[in-house]
Amino acid sequence: MSDKFSFNRRQVVAMGTTMTAGALAGCVAEGGGVQQVALGYKPVPQLGTPNNEAFPVPAVDMRKIPTQFHRQYVRHNQKYKKNTIIVDTENRYMYFIEDDDQAIRYGIGVGRAGFAWGGSATIRRKAKWPRWTPPSSMIRRQPELEKWRNGMPGGPENPLGARALYLYKGGRDTLYRLHGTNEPFSIGKAMSSGCIRMLNRDAIDLYERVKIGARVVVDQRGGASV
């Protein structure tokens, strides 16, 4: 009896270990069902290496950012082609069309310049830890920026954050930027400065996905149909 009981107990322990391993695998699998149910949305695996950058990319307490602005997969209606970026300034969303069925939605913050232009453009330049040059009008309002008239080097204090994508139309720079931010809790809000800001980790992710020549549609009317 004792041998039989010992055997059965080992079976149970082994079974429990297997089940636990399986459950943990389900929890950590990118986009896995358990993780999806727990979060309330389908998360998107991080591209790029935010933990191995030229400058630190601090972790963000995502509990302080509304769930709808977390990076996540959504369905789309096939209105836009693969690799298109759609910016919905009214609702503070950016979409990247990944394939025929699925898009990645990012939460964004929209600065004053972000509301100044709409339409279709093309990504002609991408930069890591980009240099930022404040416009003359901003320097007049904020004289302390005079020292950066010729540009602020990339880094943790730079308002363009870890990455920037530059929009061109007809071969000319629109001065419209999709960029990271060192103010993560501005996501989902309208701000007094900047263009379209993203969490640095999201900006790194999008940088890895988007190709030079990709189309960008900026919708200022609200309710962009994606």
Q: What is the pLDDT of residue 23?
A: 32
Instruction: Indicate whether 6 pLDDT > 60.
Output: no
In whole numbers, what is the pLDDT of the chain averaged over residues? 84
Selecting among 27, 70, 76, 195, the annotated active-site residue is: 195
Active site residue 76: no
pLDDT band per the 50, 70, 90 thresholds, residue 10: very low
Q: What is the pLDDT of residue 222?
A: 67
Are the C-beta atoms of 197 and 108 separated by less than 8 Å? yes
- Judged by DSSP in three states, 105 sits in strand
Most confident range (mean pLDDT) of 16-25, 26-35, 61-70, 138-147 is: 61-70
Fold exhibited by the domain 41-219: L,D-transpeptidase catalytic domain-like (2.40.440)
Q: What is the pLDDT of residues 163-175, one digit of tens each?
A: 999 999 999 999 8
Active site residue 195: yes
Provide the whole-model pTM.
Answer: 0.81
Q: What is the pLDDT of residue 114?
A: 76
How far is Cα 205 from Cα 15, in angstroms, rounded to an integer?
Answer: 39
Q: What is the pLDDT of residues 15-45, one digit of tens each?
A: 343 333 333 333 333 445 656 777 789 999 9
Instruction: Specify the higher pLDDT residue, 191 or 216.
Output: 216
